[in-house]
Chains A and B, each alone.
Chain A
Amino acid sequence: MKLYFKYMSVLLRSQMAYRASFILLSIGQFFVPFLAFISIVLFFQRFPSVVGWSLYQVALCYSVVHMAFAISECCVRGFDSFSSLIVNGDFDRILVRPRSTVLQVLGSKFEFTRVGRLTQSLVVLIYALINLDVQWSPYKLLTLLFMIISGVFIFSGIYILGATLCFWTVEGLEVVNILTDGGREMAQYPLNIYKDWMRKFFTFVIPFGTINYLPLMFIFDKTEGNSLVYMLIPLVGILFIIPCLMIWGFGVKQYQSTGS
């Protein structure tokens, strides 16, 4: 873990070497998703609610998902751009160093410009918190925190799955974007506005439901029965990372025996 932060600080310094590009990219990362949020606001001016969800409730959901997305894109970027490590042959270098491949791939790249997107989602979060008519309690705040953390793990898991695909093919990785970018676009609304099969897919296969619809019910006091379950449900989403890492390990083995 110490090494991960060491990688981070060192790469932060090297990215700072290109200051102008860093600043411009960060600003871009702020405004592009922000426009998407503006369109949500405009949408809600025509229709006051979507399947019973108000603008501010959706804003909360939106900010959580985007925050998780921004953090994972910054910190797990190494997996997102893993195909370049394979193409350059730099993965061989990783294999001759005495550390786990996961740690080294994580440390191979960070995308600090995502601070723009993170700021953007913070602004939306504050906007939602100010306007929401919710009785906040420490439990609810904790749930909110769980949602963000769990979201980071879910996005990371998808990145790892996508990276694992590179062991077999470095083409056609756009498929993975359906899950990351697509998942992000989906999950910025509460999942119960979608068709049943989609809702099930994004709850039981890719567990966005655990950071979205289910805990939101608890925060907005819509739950029936034991609310503790709803509060802890984001933590279940974290478990998604485990099969992803196992598949990754299998991919590494495959690479070592084929050496493509």
Chain B
Amino acid sequence: MIEVQSLCKSFKVSKRKAGIGAAIGSFFNPQYRTVEALKNISFTIGEGEIVGYIGPNGAGKSTTIKVMSGILVPDSGRCNIQEITPWKNRINHVKNIGVVFGQRSQLWWDLPVLDSFNLLKDIYKVPEKEYQNNLDLLTATLDLSDIMTTPVRQLSLGQRMRCEIAASLLHSPKILFLDEPTIGLDAISKIAVRNFIKTINKEKKVTVILTTHDMNDIDTLAERIILIGKGQILLDGALTELKRKFATHKTITVDYSELYSDINIEGIRILSQENQRLSLSVPLDRFNVSEVIGQLSQQMEIMDVSVENRPIEEIIVDLYKEHQL
């Protein structure tokens, strides 16, 4: 469905030192340095996938999204999305995609939400029936009915983001690009947005490409992640696989009422022990979690046990470190 092959893109950035003298100097003799935003990016994404596209700021995420949505022409490389090269056949390509830039609105500031939607209907030439169906579905699932007649400028950020997402789906696109869709949202709005993205992915088979800095987004949504840094793909794989590879430890937390003897198991690190609560870090290559719990139960009166994976944030930070980003 989406095929990207050896994309390269570099920008010329003007070089200028601080100060008025340097400003005048660069006016007469502009100096440029070349920044390679994308270096040989390749991946394929199949229909119905949700892919988390992650990386630190300036890694090339937005540039890739811009190339895939037909805004930018790459220096070299191929990109084939539903048999179309985005920058060669812009109008036909963008009919099939929806794009949400979290930081920028696509709605008309002074207009009621419904008016914006109607205008989009005409821009995308959506047939009346399809439009009504989509609108009804989106209004119901995103809970928009109360804010339909409110001018966009009066909406809260969470309300606006729900409208943005609805607006990008009115023309039933097959592919949805989400650039930081949960930025600045409160916890409830974040959950609502995530649930919705899951729903349309399941029910309408919409392929979703998601960039975000919020690892909970990735954890709840993406089955696959592509990690990009300094314009190169560092890792491309299933999220579970990533977790398996990097989640080498589990954390066991036990609440106990009585301790028979000191806890000291060779190879297991005690993270904390206070107020009758004990946290242990268990390396999975040497221990089996249930065995450890069994051993513990002989040494203490256990009230409660919980076993946790390493949070995905830590894994990503490790990944960044490993690749020295």
- What is A's interface to B at a CB cutoff of 8 Å? 2-3, 6-7, 10-11, 13-15, 17, 88-90, 92-93, 95-100, 104, 253, 256-259
Interface pair B122/A88, CB less than 8 Å apart:
no
Q: How many B residues are at the interface, by size bracket?
A: 20 to 34
Q: Is B223 an interface residue (CB 8 A)?
A: no
- Assuming the contacts A10-B108, A14-B110, asked whether A96 and B99 have C-beta atoms less than 8 A apart, the reply is yes
Q: Is B92 an interface residue (CB 8 A)?
A: yes
- Assuming the contacts A17-B110, A98-B91, A259-B71, asked whether A6 and B119 have C-beta atoms less than 8 A apart, the reply is yes
Interface pair B71/A10, CB less than 8 Å apart:
no
Please name all residues of chain B whose beta carbon is closer than 8 Å to the beta carbon of A100 when the two chains form the complex: 91
- Assuming the contacts A89-B104, A96-B99, A98-B92, asked whether A10 and B70 have C-beta atoms less than 8 A apart, the reply is no
Interface pair A93/B66, CB less than 8 Å apart:
no
Q: Is B101 an interface residue (CB 8 A)?
A: yes
Please name all residues of chain A whose beta carbon is closer than 8 Å to the beta carbon of B73 when the two chains form the complex: 253, 256-257
Q: Looking at B95, B101, B110, B124, which has the most chain A CB atoms within 10 Å of its CB?
A: B110
Give the contacting residue for B111; candidates A10, A96, A99, A256; CB below 8 A: A10
- Assuming the contacts A10-B115, A90-B104, A98-B94, asked whether A2 and B122 have C-beta atoms less than 8 A apart, the reply is yes
A95 CB to nearest B CB, Å: 5
Q: Report B72-109 CB contacts with A as 1/0, cut-off 8 Å.
A: 11000000000000010011101101010100101011
Give the contacting residue for B90; candidates A11, A90, A95, A257; CB below 8 A: A95
Give 9 A-B contacts (CB < 8 Å), ordered by A residue. A3-B122, A11-B108, A90-B104, A95-B90, A96-B97, A97-B123, A99-B91, A258-B11, A259-B66
Q: Is B211 an interface residue (CB 8 A)?
A: no
Q: Looking at A14, A95, A99, which has the most chain B CB atoms within 10 Å of its CB?
A: A95
Nearest residue, chain A, Cβ from B87: A256
Interface pair B104/A95, CB less than 8 Å apart:
no
Please name all residues of chain A whose beta carbon is closer than 8 Å to the beta carbon of B115 when the two chains form the complex: 10, 13
- Assuming the contacts A10-B115, A13-B111, asked whether A92 and B71 have C-beta atoms less than 8 A apart, the reply is yes
Interface pair A96/B70, CB less than 8 Å apart:
yes
Please name all residues of chain B whose beta carbon is closer than 8 Å to the beta carbon of A95 when the two chains form the complex: 69-71, 90, 94
Please name all residues of chain B whose beta carbon is closer than 8 Å to the beta carbon of A3 when the two chains form the complex: 122-123
Q: Is B33 an interface residue (CB 8 A)?
A: no
Q: How far is the CA of A73 from the CA of B92 in the complex (A)?
A: 32
Interface pair A99/B70, CB less than 8 Å apart:
no
B194 CB to nearest A CB, Å: 23
